[in-house]
Every structure is written in C-alpha cells, then in structure tokens.
Structure 1
C-alpha cells in the first residue's frame, strides 16, 4: 500500500477548521523535540516506541503522522501500513514546515 501524504498548508487548514477532531495526530519525534515545539492536538510516541505501542493507535480513525522534517513520519507510515493500519497520512515537511507556516522557526 502506498503512503498517502498531505501538504503542511492543507494539514494546518484542516486542523484550524476542526476537520481533524475525529482523527489522531501522531508525533514520532523525540521528547526533547516535542518540548521545543509541538501541536497541542498531537500525541507523542517516539518512532522507536511505535512497534511497542501500536495498541494505543486507533484502527478506525485517520492517523496523521508528523516528525521534524517528514522523513521519520514517512517511515512510520510505511511501517503502520505494513502492519494492518490503512488510514495513515504522512504530513510532508513535518514540524519544520508547520512551524514556518505558523511563523515559528523550527530547526
């Protein structure tokens, strides 16, 4: 199954219009990255913990995956698709792109 991706501007628009309230936003960065800047609506599960914590992920909701720049989130999306999840969306550009759109410098 191919990974579906969404552009950060489309993601933010949907988030701001409350179109994602029935979805999960999964942040797969490390805790120190999360503390620096994160979305209040997101749930933190670092990439390395995803295999151990898949039971915390909803099978009946869209899961939007974010990381710092979109690489880890893409890999996690592939992993989840390979393991039976089918409502997975990778957020292109990650928190760097989201921060830029919101006027926050994320390095």
Structure 2
C-alpha cells in the first residue's frame, strides 16, 4: 500500500494562495517542452526520467507535491519516491490540465 496521498487541484491552489504550500514544493515531472507551454510559477521542473539522478534536489523536510500533465506520470513518481522512503508525498489529481482549467487556461 502506498504511503502517499492524492490532493485535489483546488486544494493545491488554495494552499498556494494562503501560503501553506510554497511553489518550490511542487515538482513538475513533465518534459521541458510541456513545462515551457504552461507551468505553475516557482514550481521545479524535474522530468520523470531524471528523478533518480536528481533525488538530492528534493527537500524531504516538507511535503512534496508531484504534478504532470494529467496525473499518470506523477503517480509513478510518487510510487518511486515512496519506495525510497520519502514521506509527505502528494499526487496532484488531474495534473496541470486540471489546475490550468481552474485558472481559466485550456491546457489541452
């Protein structure tokens, strides 16, 4: 059983809005061209295939929010981090497409 949890895009944006979540806690695992197209300001781009070599960049003292385009790659990254003992991992349900929609941007 996974030790990470899902978070809704609404909860993510609310947390960003009230300062409970810092943008640097958001790891965007999409490819660079996807991140260039649309991303949350201050989020950290770490493409999924580079996660193993960039684990040292993750601050495990805070909750880490993992986001991708629609929530598929982020689940795989959450599983990967969970297997390596990272706690406080959250998957953003629906990915950046869901977040963008709430912000009035048609991602797809």
Matched, 1:45 2:46: yes
Unaligned runs of 5+ in 2: none
Indicate conservation of the 8 Å contact 2:30/2:47, yes or no.
Answer: yes
Indicate conservation of the 8 Å contact 2:25/2:63, yes or no.
Answer: yes
> Alpha-carbon deviation of 1:16?
1.2
Indicate conservation of the 8 Å contact 1:22/1:61, yes or no.
Answer: no
- What secondary structure does 1:68 align onto? coil
Partner of 1:85: 86
Measured in 2, the distance between the counterparts of 1:59 and 1:7 equals 21
Measured in 2, the distance between the counterparts of 1:105 and 1:3 equals 28
- What secondary structure does 1:53 align onto? helix
**How many correspondences in the alignment?**
107
Q: State the TM-score, normalizing by the size of structure 1.
A: 0.95
> Alpha-carbon deviation of 1:103?
0.4
Q: State the TM-score, normalizing by the size of structure 2.
A: 0.94
Structure 1 residue runs of 4+, over 4 Å off? Answer: none
* Superposition CA RMSD, Å: 1.3
- What secondary structure does 1:11 align onto? helix
Unaligned runs of 5+ in 1: none
- What secondary structure does 1:65 align onto? strand
Indicate conservation of the 8 Å contact 2:23/2:41, yes or no.
Answer: no
- What secondary structure does 2:91 align onto? strand
